[in-house]
Chain A
């Protein structure tokens, strides 16, 4: 146990005291600070009109308004910079042959890789912790902090960090050259962005179909306040897959690695397929913005699951609106609802139609309005349409901040945190140089 503790301590030291870590902390601090500052300023400006208007105020939610944009900075830094910190932790060991030292001590491959992985996850947690001063400031200004929703947002970014760490391990096991490994890692990570872009540009139906499985789309669920078993399983399985493949590739003591890699890929893909059928979702947003009003939701629960034929392209803005305002909410209540995207000639002939089938009866509409859809579904299901279903009374939390308050953010993130990080880092190095001179 002590051996493992020493190994973990060594890995944490190697990672956190590297120059790359210092640079990354400075970048993180700047990006989080700027994101928070911009979000607070925009939220504050918009809040002015909402202070005396309760209806307008209900639209002011701190997580989508302030904290999601603040954490958004982490997304860029994790994607583009984190691999450059994590990959050298392995490539340097390979190039310097110090893996031979660790293996002969003797640590097992699993102990070495696990220790490096744990150190990487600790850094991800440290990066997430850099958002805590922003939360504290927001609270100090009198802002409302929805802790559950905020924790879900942080959990989403932690899972994303886990994914980046796994991809980094995989890339570092392919090459002992840091530059090449980093490029591979960034390409794998950015593939998600390219697929999303391809979907927006309507490049091909295949890209559109694949885009439902991109990392960015899965991460978006956490940002939207939806705790999704499918998205959680997706991140965990994908991370496990990349980490396991990296582990096999790193091991020079095994033969026929490709068999193990293929078996790993097969297991992960199968598990991903089964996880795609998980429909356990919960709306953790405080306002319930991802859910229908309670009375509607109750009535829907009593009705059989509808089957819906959609005669729209996935890239059509109408479909996106429909998906966001109706479909995603429906699937939260009725995860067994069957949605079919119609293609081919039928799509062209009936473009814009929605066909609803319940209990063998069907009706169609071109409308994407909730009221029309509920009327159809409840009529087909023979359920009395729920009346007076209002959203739970969410008051909204507008907050006007002064420019002086906002300047605190700049001071904190662009001056205080870097000022604490820099001397801490240099003190460690000066201390060792001083000791060297005294020898």
Chain B
């Protein structure tokens, strides 16, 4: 569905990504895995059109995808450092969002339990609820590809289970997810494929079975793959 070919990016002399190429199959949940500074967020920004690669190209079903307006129509992106209007009440933001998008996803709102905090200021919400609001913003649309940068921060294990179920449910609606995750056990619970980055370079990609085979692991686990591939 989405093909990245030899994507490179340099920030003021520092190489952030070097010739990264991989494919994202339709309806997959692809986890971008790597240590801090591996270039995960940069890669997601490039896919979302919020950064230009210095070289390389991105193809959607074989057609080059570079114009921001084209990417915007396809991709929903939740940046890691997103602080949704802290002075707004949740209901005010939702009113604005629903009014401008022209739709509200009541089921998603209930699933994320956002109505219970509708009169609270966003800046006064717990981190978990702020993450829920960010997730709601990213999912309250009909875009085919959803990019989430570290979406599981701030959730307790029970909340996390709800969120993972919700992503699976959205994935069943033929939405493709690309998620940057630094907690390996969370990634293992949700992802169907993995892209492993180290210092801006692609180290390995594929599903768990192919990764285990590549690294000769008897008991396939992401932690083992991570240790073998990245350390």
- Residues of chain B within 8 A of A252, CB atoms compared: 50-52
- Residues of chain A within 8 A of B87, CB atoms compared: 17
Q: Would you list which residues of chain B between 64 and 90 have a CB under 8 Å from chain A?
A: 68-69, 72-73, 76-77, 79, 81-87, 89
Query: Cβ of A387 < 8 Å from any Cβ of B?
Result: no
- Residues of chain A within 8 A of B101, CB atoms compared: 105
Shortest CB-to-CB span from B124 to chain A, Å, is 7
Shortest CB-to-CB span from B3 to chain A, Å, is 21
CB < 8 Å neighbour of A3 from B49, B100, B117, B121: B100
Contact code string B119-154 (vs A, CB < 8 Å = 1, else 0): 111001000000000000100010000000000000
* A428 to B100 Cα, complex, angstroms: 24
Flag if B121 contacts A432 (CB, 8 Å).
Answer: yes
Flag if B79 contacts A100 (CB, 8 Å).
Answer: yes
Shortest CB-to-CB span from B47 to chain A, Å, is 13
* A436 to B116 Cα, complex, angstroms: 11
Q: Given contacts A2-B99, A6-B100, A98-B82, is CB(A439)–CB(B72) below 8 Å?
A: no
Q: Which residue of B lies closest to A19 (CB)?
A: B87
* A255 to B116 Cα, complex, angstroms: 44
Query: Cβ of A259 < 8 Å from any Cβ of B?
Result: no
Flag if A438 contacts B119 (CB, 8 Å).
Answer: yes
Flag if B119 contacts A6 (CB, 8 Å).
Answer: no
Q: Given contacts A101-B137, A105-B101, is CB(A439)–CB(B82) below 8 Å?
A: no
Query: Cβ of A412 < 8 Å from any Cβ of B?
Result: no
CB < 8 Å neighbour of A103 from B72, B116, B124, B141: B72
Interface size on B, residues (CB 8 A): 34
Q: Which residue of A lies closest to B101 (CB)?
A: A105
Query: Cβ of A10 < 8 Å from any Cβ of B?
Result: yes
Query: Cβ of B96 < 8 Å from any Cβ of A?
Result: yes
Query: Cβ of A253 < 8 Å from any Cβ of B?
Result: yes
- Residues of chain B within 8 A of A6, CB atoms compared: 96, 99-100
Query: Cβ of B173 < 8 Å from any Cβ of A?
Result: no
Shortest CB-to-CB span from B46 to chain A, Å, is 12
Q: Would you list which residues of chain A between 226 and 241 have a CB under 8 Å from chain B?
A: none
Contact code string A131-164 (vs B, CB < 8 Å = 1, else 0): 0000000000000000000000000000000000
* A103 to B52 Cα, complex, angstroms: 16
Flag if B72 contacts A104 (CB, 8 Å).
Answer: yes
Shortest CB-to-CB span from A294 to chain B, Å, is 59
Q: Given contacts A255-B52, A436-B89, is CB(A101)–CB(B119) below 8 Å?
A: no
Flag if A253 contacts B49 (CB, 8 Å).
Answer: yes
Contact code string A398-439 (vs B, CB < 8 Å = 1, else 0): 000000000000000000000000000000000010011011
Query: Cβ of B97 < 8 Å from any Cβ of A?
Result: yes
Query: Cβ of B118 < 8 Å from any Cβ of A?
Result: yes
Flag if A253 contacts B100 (CB, 8 Å).
Answer: no
For A6, A104, A253, A255, the residue with the greatest tally of chain B CB atoms inside 10 Å of its CB is: A104
Q: Given contacts A97-B83, A98-B83, A105-B101, is CB(A436)–CB(B124) below 8 Å?
A: yes
- Residues of chain A within 8 A of B85, CB atoms compared: 96, 98
* A438 to B116 Cα, complex, angstroms: 11
Query: Cβ of A388 < 8 Å from any Cβ of B?
Result: no
Closest 3 CB pairs between A and B? Answer: A253-B68, A96-B83, A435-B119
Beyond contacts A3-B102, A106-B72: 10 other A-B pairs, Cβ-Cβ < 8 A, are: A6-B96, A10-B96, A96-B86, A97-B79, A100-B50, A101-B84, A253-B49, A253-B50, A439-B119, A439-B120
Task: Tell me the A residues contacting B by CB distance below 8 Å.
Answer: 2-3, 6-7, 10, 17, 95-98, 100-101, 103-108, 252-253, 255, 432, 435-436, 438-439
Task: Tell me the B residues contacting A by CB distance below 8 Å.
Answer: 49-52, 68-69, 72-73, 76-77, 79, 81-87, 89, 96-97, 99-102, 116-121, 124, 137, 141
A–B Cβ pairs within 8 angstroms, 10 of them: A3-B99, A6-B99, A96-B86, A100-B79, A101-B84, A104-B72, A105-B101, A252-B50, A435-B89, A436-B119
